[in-house]
Structure 1
Amino acid sequence: MTFVLNISNDACVPLSSGLLQVVADHTLQRSPAHVVTGRCFTAAMTGGGEIRSYPDGITIIIVGRPRFRSAEHEGNPPADGIHALYSVAAERLVEALSGEFGIVVVDENKRIAIAFRDRLGFYPLFYRTTANGLWISNSLKPILASGEVVTLDHQAVYRYLFLKAFESPDTPVREIRSIEPGCFLRSEDGRVDFKRYWDIPIATGAKNASGETQCKEELSELLGTVMREELMGPSSINGLLLSGGIDSSILAALSARYGAQEQETIAFNITFSERWKPLDESPYAEKAAQMASLPLHKVDFSLDNLLRVLPSLLWNNTLPTANSGFKLSLIAERGARHQIGTYMLGEGADTLLDYSWKWKYFNRLYKTASITGLLPEKAKRLLLRTGEKFLYVLEKNLVGKDNPTEILRSYLACLLGYWRWKGAAIRADELSRLFCERYRPTVGGELISTVFAGYYKRVDADELAEKFIYSSLKSYTPNQQLMNYQTICNYYGADMVCPYLDERVIEYCLKLPVQMRAGKKILKSIAEKCVPQDIITREKRVFLMPMEAWLKDALRPLVETVFSEKVIEHRGLFDVREMTLLKDQFYAGTFPSWSDIWSFVVLEAWFRINLDSSFPRLPESILDIFPEVAGTGLNKAACVD
């Protein structure tokens, strides 16, 4: 579901046919956009959202699934309830809502527009102010197709290449910004301002004093309530991403317990070919599905399948996201054949309830290192950077499980504000050298560290882990996961829910004592009677993909194209010599990681889809994005799978 809204300072301006086609292309069905006009605005919607205009001059635009905290508005169309709330509460209406949504209220009589983004950031909202008015959309593509001039934001691109996602309010272009989660934009008579209405509720006071048994029962009941609400939605067929880990296995058990008779839940799991069997967790998923009496559909993570969904995955990157969406794209494509209406994901459990042992030592170091606060800021950062660089050299020469060098470097990186996202190997100073001379002086680690230093300062907590959780829920969760996943599901005609990221569950979990969150202790306690024992006791695994092997073989033509002198010089962002060196290091097997290389491929694909034509068009194959790879055998790559 996609909408675009143009508010004019004068009379409404019609939306071009090309722009309307861009809106329609956001769903697999490419359904025509529904257009609504007012005295000073024009809006278009496709794919299941809602636009309603009322006689009092108010228009409501909704994407997602807002829920009313009061039963007063249940049973009515969401727009009617929001219209009623606005008439009595104005912008405070959002306090009466929960769920995943993007909502815009246009009040023509007062010449006011208010755009609300949901609390966690499931649905993005972008805006652009112009001399003639204001654009708002849940996708960049319609705003880019408006014909207004844009310029690349090289500092935002730098942050993306380090973090592997764009940090709100960044986008690749200076003129378009995103509204942060838990905030709303208010436009009145051409003036635009912002206000935060919700924030991550890190508990700074006393923790939950109840015993472990009571907390287990309370959290289990709360998760059951959330699942019951989600399974009572309009969808008759639900999909569950069942990895074989404890988080999704608990959701499988709860969906079987609370699902209505008229609804069906289908579990999906990723499998690998014989060559990549060590990555395969499907035997555990089979056990969890069997215990929950759920049908299980296996989806093969093969090179052929990846190449088939890659054009839509790159198209659905509302903002470039380098290392997420592969698994969900494959599953959602398969789920479309079964008319899945809602996907349930176990995202959030790791962040909230997997308090790693290393944080205990981090907190001791953090309190000990607080003496560095007496040093001038410049000297403190120099000391931290020197230690981080030294440990970086050691880490590259020491390999092993729970490598203490890696853990200490992670700690110093936290203090510096340099987040080390999974899969990324490149350092901030190494990354800055990749930019051309024109931009190199204006990029650097400070562009990253200041963002996260702000997050750390915002949390008044003694535990460093609490600051980390806050930062993760503000950054990694919405920017790398939720926004990207939601766009993929919407493209295939479905919604997405993450029960562990329901605001009630977040608030409860953050009040639990640390010992109950260590190693998912409380989740394992909940799982005792509903999840196979070997899933509860097995060692945690992250989802791994053979992307490095594929990028060095079958997908190499994509890398060679993006790192070619012609493409680099055309884009004007990077230094040809440094980029060539980076690529050669990757193929030599010394440095960097596959996600560092892939982030450049995703970025160039985004530029080509969104900036290199007036009206972006949905690509049918990878050749529509990268015609240079024609004749390289890329589409016949299954032989190396």
Structure 2
Amino acid sequence: MCGITGIFAFNLVGKFNLVNIAAATKALHRRGPDNQDIYHDEFVGLGHRRLSIIDTSAVAHQPMWDESKRYCMIFNGEIFNFPELKKELESRGVTSFFSHSDTEVFLKLFILDGEKCLNKLNGFFAFCIYDRQEQSFFIARDRYGVKPLIYLFDEDKFIFASEMKSILAYGPEKELDYTSLHTYLQLNYIPGPRTIFKNVKKLLPGEFLKVSSRQLAAGRYYSIPFNNASDHRPSTIDYDQAKNKFKELLEAYVQRRLISDVPLGAFLSGGIDSSIVTGLAARHKPDLHTFSIGFRDEKFFDETEYARLVAKHFNTEHTVFSLTNKDLFEHVHSILDYIDEPFADSSAINVYILSKETRKHATVALSGDGADELLAGYNKHAAFYRAIHAGTKESIVGSMLPLWKMMPKSRNGFFSNKTRQLQRFAEGMKLSSKERYWRWAGFATESKAFQLFSEQSRNNFEKQEYDSFKQDFLKFIPEKENINDILLTDFNLVLPNDMLTKVDLMSMAHGLEIRTPFLDYELVNFAFSLPDDFKINPEIRKRIVQDAFKEMLPAQLYNRPKKGFEVPLLKWLRKDMKSLIKDELLSEKFVREQNIFDYKAINRLRRKLFSLNPGDVHARIWALVVFQWWWKKYNSNK
């Protein structure tokens, strides 16, 4: 796990940017606190910040050269099957290894097999291999986007990095992308390949780039193994067989992720997914250390009693970081300062603090992330199931939309949250399958997001470009969708751009590596081969995983409401951040001078925030606060 950056200059103008390689590498110091090394020649620069996990010795530092000095590699990630790949190399005559690292194995496999080697890798990664003889870069990102990579390509240069702050160290022009901003105001994050800047792109999961002088060629080496989920035929194995195979695969993939030369633990929230990962890991690592975060002031969100129950059940060494609202809020400014592209998933605050505290005890942590997207674990998946199999009950709920709109709504209480969910369900029932997905993925409709734009922003917004961008994510959803269609779309939209971005950014801020066994590609391929009813039915979500491990887990984990990893955002915005909102970031003076947003529309949201019926407005206000904070630090006029 590391931070990487590089530049390929195509001419003397591009070469001028080479002077920034040291600053761009240093900008990633929190991702890799253990070592920094840089290589550069006349037109190429490569920078690496190392977080040492496998072979912590100096011989495994990067940039790493092969013995011929033709190939140079910088690599961020882990290859869990590198011992098997090393044996394969030895059987093919490669017997000389100067380190015990996965990076060296990867580099030598690439030299033999080229891009075809990507299909053999089990792990997560973003990397660049420089071929000094051919004067080219080969760059790729892992199958599901666990590790990030962004880049800028113009007539003078190609630059890339793990994070935007490193790209900005090269001093590029910064032009706001209004399609990205409009999407962000709906989803609270910016999906790839776009970023907040027009000239900077995200490399998509499962894709690679070949770069040579003034030429950029993109390709894809992996897709979830069917193009249209609705054409997928039912499983050839029955439910019990599938359940047993899933159980067998997951245990193998948890065990595979225990390889480490530094302390390793596990996040344990008390939910089903992290509890399963903990239980399987504890079988092979009896001294497993687990970590949880608790909310002393917010019992509605606190699950530490279940985390303690699971820790006791599996006899792990368990640490709870019990926080007050004040403790949580004290980290907000640090998080806002670290975010280098608008990203407003408020649960990132929890991940940031949990990672910070865990890093005091471990360098690697297992997590249950990815299970909900893989196996239909969210409330929205239950809603999609009901919409797909709609009957009289669902029709009645949909017809009562005017009533739901009138009733108080909030995430901070059971009944007000239920009303909020009923209104969203009723609204979705009136839409097409594609539009329903998009609506339930976000916090605001397209029209409400557009209303926030100033006249200048509306003139800069390109509707046709936005429509094409949006429809590219919805291409897997037919008129009559099924759950696999929804999950496939989640894997393209939500998983890499929200969930995995959050986990990577917040954990690597503290030099902590997170490993996600549920996202082993062989397990994902198997899960997508299963029919909908193996994953969800009217009574249960994530059916196969809950049933497969029921005998292993404490009975108390079942038949209880699913709780999100949330923070008391509404309270903060109305109280602790009231002055910041009213007098600074969303003040009339700042908004009008900035001229991105319409102040009247902003003021309507502000009034709703402080009303008796705030609904979901706190999520929209938070997105604006994050953007405004980011703008003041990174804005395109600087």
Give the deviation of 1:169 after TM superposition: 1.0
Q: Is 1:97 paired with 2:115? A: no
Structure 1 pair 155–281 and aligned structure 2 pair: CA distance change class (3 A): same
In structure 2, the residue matched to 1:331 is 354
Structure 1 pair 144–611 and aligned structure 2 pair: CA distance change class (3 A): farther
Matched residue SS, 1:599 = helix
In structure 2, the residue matched to 1:319 is 341
What is the rounded CA distance, in whole Å, between the counterparts of 2:474 and 2:637 in structure 1? 41
Give the deviation of 1:430 after TM superposition: 1.5
The structure 2 residue matched to 1:593, chosen from 581, 593, 617, is 617
Q: Is 1:531 paired with 2:553? A: yes
Give the deviation of 1:15 after TM superposition: 4.6
The structure 1 residue matched to 2:485, chosen from 467, 486, 511, is 467
Give the deviation of 1:446 after TM superposition: 6.9
Structure 1 pair 205–159 and aligned structure 2 pair: CA distance change class (3 A): closer
Give the number of equivalent residue pairs: 586
Give the deviation of 1:417 after TM superposition: 6.0
In structure 2, the residue matched to 1:87 is 111
Q: Is 1:280 paired with 2:302? A: yes
Decide whether the 8 Å contact of 2:433 with 2:480 is kept in 1.
Answer: no
Q: Is 1:363 paired with 2:388? A: yes
Matched residue SS, 1:276 = coil
What letter corresponds to residue 526 of structure 1 in structure 2? A
Decide whether the 8 Å contact of 2:4 with 2:161 is kept in 1.
Answer: yes
Structure 1 pair 425–293 and aligned structure 2 pair: CA distance change class (3 A): same
Within a 5 Å distance, the mapping from 1:509-528 to structure 2 comes to: 509-518=527-536, 519=540, 520-528=542-550
Structure 1 pair 461–85 and aligned structure 2 pair: CA distance change class (3 A): farther
In structure 1, the residue matched to 2:523 is 505
In structure 2, the residue matched to 1:27 is 30
What is the rounded CA distance, in whole Å, between the counterparts of 1:495 and 1:413 in structure 2? 40
What is the rounded CA distance, in whole Å, between the counterparts of 1:439 and 1:390 in structure 2? 36
The structure 2 residue matched to 1:46, chosen from 41, 44, 49, is 49
Identity %: 21
What is the rounded CA distance, in whole Å, between the counterparts of 1:31 and 1:65 in structure 2? 16
Query: Which range moved further: 62-71 or 514-523?
Result: 62-71
The structure 1 residue matched to 2:427, chosen from 385, 409, 425, is 409
Query: Which range moved further: 292-301 or 401-410?
Result: 401-410
Give the deviation of 1:543 after TM superposition: 3.0
What letter corresponds to residue 205 of structure 1 in structure 2? H
Q: Deviations over 1:416-460 (max 9, x none)?
A: 2662457x5432111111111022255488766644533343468
Q: Is 1:247 paired with 2:269? A: no
Matched residue SS, 1:300 = strand
Structure 1 pair 234–320 and aligned structure 2 pair: CA distance change class (3 A): farther
In structure 1, the residue matched to 2:211 is 187
Query: Which range moved further: 190-199 or 458-467?
Result: 458-467
The structure 2 residue matched to 1:578, chosen from 585, 589, 601, is 601
Give the deviation of 1:513 after TM superposition: 2.8
In structure 2, the residue matched to 1:622 is none
Matched residue SS, 2:331 = helix
In structure 1, the residue matched to 2:567 is 545
Decide whether the 8 Å contact of 2:80 with 2:256 is kept in 1.
Answer: no
Matched residue SS, 2:46 = strand
What is the rounded CA distance, in whole Å, between the counterparts of 1:566 and 1:172 in structure 2? 24
Query: Which range moved further: 185-194 or 582-591?
Result: 582-591
What is the rounded CA distance, in whole Å, between the counterparts of 1:505 and 1:87 in structure 2? 28
Matched residue SS, 1:322 = coil
Structure 1 pair 603–297 and aligned structure 2 pair: CA distance change class (3 A): same
Structure 1 pair 393–443 and aligned structure 2 pair: CA distance change class (3 A): farther
**Aligned Cα root-mean-square deviation (Å):** 3.0
Query: Which range moved further: 10-19 or 86-95?
Result: 10-19
What letter corresponds to residue 208 of structure 1 in structure 2? S
In structure 1, the residue matched to 2:243 is 216
Matched residue SS, 2:225 = coil
Query: Which range moved further: 342-351 or 326-335?
Result: 342-351
Matched residue SS, 1:319 = coil
Query: Which range moved further: 33-42 or 46-55?
Result: 46-55
Structure 1 pair 104–286 and aligned structure 2 pair: CA distance change class (3 A): same
What is the rounded CA distance, in whole Å, between the counterparts of 1:125 and 1:270 in structure 2? 29
Query: Which range moved further: 128-137 or 209-218?
Result: 209-218
Structure 1 pair 252–389 and aligned structure 2 pair: CA distance change class (3 A): closer
Within a 5 Å distance, the mapping from 1:549-560 to structure 2 comes to: 549-560=571-582
Matched residue SS, 1:512 = coil
Q: Is 1:207 paired with 2:234? A: yes
User: Which consecutive unaligned segments of at least 5 residues does structure 1 have?
Assistant: 367-387, 615-641
Give the deviation of 1:328 after TM superposition: 1.1
Query: Which range moved further: 155-164 or 188-197?
Result: 188-197
Structure 1 pair 567–193 and aligned structure 2 pair: CA distance change class (3 A): farther
Q: Is 1:435 paired with 2:453? A: yes
Within a 5 Å distance, the mapping from 1:56-455 to structure 2 comes to: 56-68=69-81, 71-73=84-86, 76-202=100-226, 204-238=231-265, 240-259=266-285, 264-273=287-296, 275-323=297-345, 324-338=347-361, 340-354=362-376, 356-364=381-389, 394-397=403-406, 401=418, 405-411=423-429, 412=431, 414-416=433-435, 419-420=438-439, 425-441=443-459, 443=461, 450-455=468-473
What is the rounded CA distance, in whole Å, between the counterparts of 1:88 and 1:31 in structure 2? 30
Decide whether the 8 Å contact of 1:120 with 1:181 is kept in 2.
Answer: yes
Give the deviation of 1:476 after TM superposition: 0.9
What is the rounded CA distance, in whole Å, between the counterparts of 1:440 and 1:391 in structure 2? 34
User: Which consecutive unaligned segments of at least 5 residues does structure 2 have?
Assistant: 52-60, 88-98, 392-396, 410-414
Give the deviation of 1:580 after TM superposition: 1.8
What is the rounded CA distance, in whole Å, between the counterparts of 2:533 and 2:398 in structure 1? 33
In structure 1, the residue matched to 2:497 is 479
Query: Which range moved further: 535-544 or 6-15?
Result: 6-15
Q: Is 1:606 paired with 2:637? A: no
